Amino acid sequence: TEIMEKLTKESGIGFSGILTKHISPKIGVSGQLFYGGLKGANLSKVSFEASVVEYNAHLRVNLINLLSPDNISKMGIEVYGGIGQFVFKTTQYDLRNNETKVNVKDTGTPEFMYFFGAGLSYKVSGKIGITLDASMRQAQNDYIDNFVKNDNNDYYSYICMGVTFN
């Protein structure tokens, strides 16, 4: 139930596009453009909503092709990691003390981040496939939720289903 609460109460809709150049059937170099939303709340009546625009570069490794070079399976398992930058705008709502205070944090300049993730893929045909990915992104600041605590870096996740065209 905790995962469902995270998805329903702390998630926003996002989408992205990824271009990959395969160096070999095992390794690819990719670039991604991502837009999404985040939200969250705590028990002290403070909540936030944020929009994020991110661009990154990453390396993808197909584990099945790495372990079995003569693989003819339609399934793929990939791991990936990379670095990028993002900009965000966060609106925080503070309902404590019986008054509503609204605070806005707009970065305006790109912030550095790094990430890692894994995904499953299935080739429907020679040119079309479907994917399921999950990744964790580590921001190099503590401002995404507009609440600085102990100077810990914030992070966000991206879970997606997609269609690929080769």
- Summarize pLDDT for 39-52 with one digit per residue, the tens: 888 767 888 899 99
Instruction: Identify the pLDDT of residue 1.
Output: 56
Distance CA 162, CA 166 (A): 13
Instruction: Identify the pLDDT of residue 126.
Output: 85
Instruction: Provide the 3-class DSSP secondary structure of residue 60.
Output: strand
Asked if pLDDT for residue 107 goes beyond 90, the answer is no
* Alpha helices, DSSP H, located in the chain: 2-9, 63-67
pLDDT bin (cut points 50, 70, 90) of residue 114 is: very high
Q: In this structure, which amino acid lies at residue 9?
A: K
Whole-prediction pTM value?
0.85
Instruction: Provide the 3-class DSSP secondary structure of residue 72.
Output: coil
